[in-house]
């Protein structure tokens, strides 16, 4: 039986879609069978982030309305073995899908896939309710800003109310230099406020913009620091114990070397 | 004056501390989903009960709704946290 994980945030623009694309691709690169579902009906974007926008025939609404079989709507990503996308409909709205239909769809997909990742729309209305309906686990994405943390707090409360206990937090777009000079909340600050467990920290990385421009997730770029952080998260999801990269200290090479030899660094 | 002093101590000069403080305050009300009046009512009731047994600093009493890990550590539960500075314990209360 596969695992259904919803990626949500409340606030828009914090990186839900980028996160879904990167974790999904990373899991596929680990040899898992993965399907990504875009539930942002009317504002779909996971297709362009994945670079699969030209291959859409059927969508999520076609599937739940029985207009096509589930298999027909799944777009196979030819670059990465075992990775599939179920795109959202673009010309309908959130009410075109009901939570019961999402539960049924997730149950069906669980038979065949190791991971079903659901990209949740921003907001707390129908689209959010659809996205979380079939999920057993949740990843809450936030950034170190008051607005995003506030919305994450609200989402965590709503997830609990919908029996999705113990959501894991992903802090995106962390800038080590700003944290260091005290102009950005640190991971500890955010954890202290939200009181949830961390699944990973993604450093701000301009390679994300470049990879999105190309439609190739950053996890495939060995040089991308965000890509590395996403690969680590994928391994944590699969049950491996990977220490969380300390993006905040941003230590220079010599300090690391000195630490390695147990020398004083102060 | 007070503000300047804390600035000198370097505590709230950083914008992240300002962010943290503002967030904590706004979340109290978000989480409670109740009016500040509600918390004031709870506060005055608590003062009334505790005052039967000890002298407390009513001005410094701080009460907030927050979240904490449940005892089994598997979920997050709401918690009412009250910080009540005690001046002295009344003899009759012992």
pLDDT in tens, B43-79: 888 889 988 999 998 888 888 777 777 777 766 677 7
In the prediction, which pLDDT does A265 show? 45
Q: Is residue A30 part of a domain?
A: yes
pLDDT beneath 70, residues of chain A: 248-266
Give the whole-angstrom CA distance, residue A122 versus residue A14: 9
A154 at interface of B, judged by CB pairs closer than 8 A:
yes
Segment B3-22 mean pLDDT: 71
Helices (H), chain A: 16-29, 46-50, 60-64, 70-73, 99-110, 126-133, 146-161, 176-180, 187-194, 207-214, 225-237, 253-260
Handedness of CA A111, A165, A162, A96 (dihedral sign): negative
Record: contact B30-A150, CB cut-off 8 A: yes
Range of the domain at A118: 3-260
Q: Is the pLDDT of residue B4 over 70?
A: no
**CATH number for A233:** 3.40.50.300
The pLDDT mean for chain B works out to 77
Q: Is residue A42 part of a domain?
A: yes
How many angstroms separate the Cα of A225 from the Cα of each of A24, A26, A234?
Answer: 17, 14, 14
* Closest chain B residue to A178, measured at CA: B16
Of B16, B23, B69, the CB nearest to A150: B23
Q: Is residue A266 part of a domain?
A: no
In the prediction, which pLDDT does A248 show? 67
Give the whole-angstrom CA distance, residue A128 versus residue A205: 28
Segment B84-92 mean pLDDT: 83
Q: In total, how many domains does chain A have? A: 1
Q: Is residue A265 part of a domain?
A: no
Distance in Å, alpha carbon of B22 to nearest chain A alpha carbon: 8
C-beta of residue A138 within 8 angstroms of C-beta of residue A132: yes
Distance in Å, alpha carbon of A227 to nearest chain B alpha carbon: 27
DSSP characters over A96-116: GS-HHHHHHHHHHHHTT-SEE
pTM: 0.80
Q: Is residue A12 part of a domain?
A: yes
B15 at interface of A, judged by CB pairs closer than 8 A:
yes
Which pLDDT band holds residue B81 (cuts at 50, 70, 90)? confident
Residue with tokens 């989903």: B33
The residues that bridge with A170 in the sheet, in sequence order, are A141, A200
B70 at interface of A, judged by CB pairs closer than 8 A:
no
Q: Which helix (H) or strand (E) holds B23?
A: helix B15-32
- What percent of chain B is modeled with pLDDT above 90? 9
In the prediction, which pLDDT does B40 show? 82
Q: Is B31 helix (H, G, I), strand (E, B) or coil?
A: helix
């Amino acid at each position: 039986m596969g695992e259904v994980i919803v990626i949500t945030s409340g606030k828009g623009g914090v990186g839900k879609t980028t996160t879904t694309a990167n974790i999904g691709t990373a899991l596929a690169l680990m040899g898992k069978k993965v399907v990504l579902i875009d539930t942002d009906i009317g504002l779909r974007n996971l297709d362009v982030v994945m670079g699969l926008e030209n291959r859409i025939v059927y969508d999520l609404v076609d599937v739940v309305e029985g207009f096509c079989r589930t298999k027909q709507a799944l777009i196979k990503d030819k670059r990465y073995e075992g990775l599939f996308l179920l795109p959202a409909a673009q010309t309908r709205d959130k009410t075109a899908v009901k939570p019961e239909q999402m539960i049924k769809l997730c149950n069906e997909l669980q038979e065949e896939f190791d991971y079903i990742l659901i990209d949740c729309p921003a907001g707390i209305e129908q689209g959010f309710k659809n996205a979380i309906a079939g999920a057993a686990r949740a990843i809450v994405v936030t950034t170190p800003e008051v607005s995003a943390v506030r919305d994450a707090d609200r989402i965590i409360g709503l997830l609990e109310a919908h029996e999705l206990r113990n959501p894991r937090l992903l802090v995106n777009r962390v800038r080590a230099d700003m944290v260091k000079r005290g102009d950005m909340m640190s991971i500890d600050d955010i954890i202290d406020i939200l009181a949830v467990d961390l699944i990973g920290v993604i450093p701000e990385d301009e390679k994300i913009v470049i990879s999105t421009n190309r439609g190739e997730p950053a996890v495939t770029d060995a040089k991308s620091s965000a890509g590395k952080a996403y690969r680590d998260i994928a391994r944590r999801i699969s049950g491996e114990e990977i220490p969380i990269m300390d993006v905040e200290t941003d230590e220079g090479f010599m300090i690391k070397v000195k630490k390695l030899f147990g020398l004083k660094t102060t | 004056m007070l503000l300047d002093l804390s600035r000198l101590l370097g505590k709230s000069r950083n914008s992240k501390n300002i962010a943290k403080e503002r967030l904590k305050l706004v979340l109290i009300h978000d989480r409670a989903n109740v009016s500040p009046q509600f918390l004031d009512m709870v506060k005055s009731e608590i003062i009334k009960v505790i005052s039967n047994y000890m002298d407390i600093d009513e001005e410094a009493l701080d009460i907030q709704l927050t979240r904490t890990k449940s005892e089994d550590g598997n979920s997050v539960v709401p918690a009412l946290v009250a910080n009540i500075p005690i001046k002295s314990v009344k003899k009759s209360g012992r």
